[in-house]
Structure 1
């Protein structure tokens, strides 16, 4: 096999993560570097998978969702279509959750505003005595 290879330290530095993070993703089956003795040798495929996994994590994807998308990425027959369709489903779900959270935040802000006004009113009454 030829092509660009990476040491674990190079990937960690490139993505600004710890080597422990990379080993975790390897342990979870998201990365599969070659072994040369005790040395891990990562290929371009591993670099791309790590990039996608880290991006998924930042977007709030669960480990199961990240694995599912990566597995679809690896599927040869119509994998990219299936991957994109599933990714769109996951994104729609994430968007719906964010919308619910935003509404919860707006409600909480209104309730806090009401409590704050009552507190200010009560404080004003106490000071006027």
Structure 2
């Protein structure tokens, strides 16, 4: 079975070794240890897959706890139906949150536009008497 070093995984996924150690601290990865005093981390294909799934979840904007829950399901007995339903539920919650954020952003942008228009009108009104008075 192939194994990977932290440097190899960091290079493959274009992340830092520090990020990989952080995911280990969060319980997302659990490499074995080798060498003097167990200094060297040894990652298995399972760890590599968990890291890949973790990074995919981050790209989707999921929290680490959501990612951990989903990645842990990857290792549960293979009831893919339950896993897919859980994943769909997490994705729907995330979609709902993003849609709400988009709505909030649209409202804020509309308010900014209204304030900009008010300021431009006020500036034009201030400039108008000065230009007609000279």
Is the structural similarity TM-score above 0.5?
Answer: yes
Deviation at 1:44, TM superposition (A): 0.7
Query: Cα deviations across residues 50-87 of structure 1 (Å, max 9, x unaligned)?
Result: 01111111222111111100111100241x22221111
The alignment of Structure 1 onto Structure 2 pairs a total of residues equal to: 126
Report the counterpart of residue 29 of structure 1 in structure 2.
27
TM-score normalised by structure 2 residue count: 0.89
Q: Which has the larger radius of gyration?
A: 2
Q: TM-score, length-normalised on structure 1?
A: 0.92
CA contact (8 A) 1:49 1:70 kept: yes
Unaligned runs of 5+ in 2: 130-134
SS in 1 for 2:43: strand
Structure 2: how far apart are the matches of 1:88 and 1:75?
Answer: 17
Shift of 1:112: 1.2
Distance 2:69 2:22 in 1: 17
Kept in 2, the 8 Å contact 1:11–1:47? The answer is yes
Aligned to 2:2: 4
Q: CA RMSD in A?
A: 1.1
Question: Which residue of the partner structure matches residue 68 of structure 1?
Answer: 69
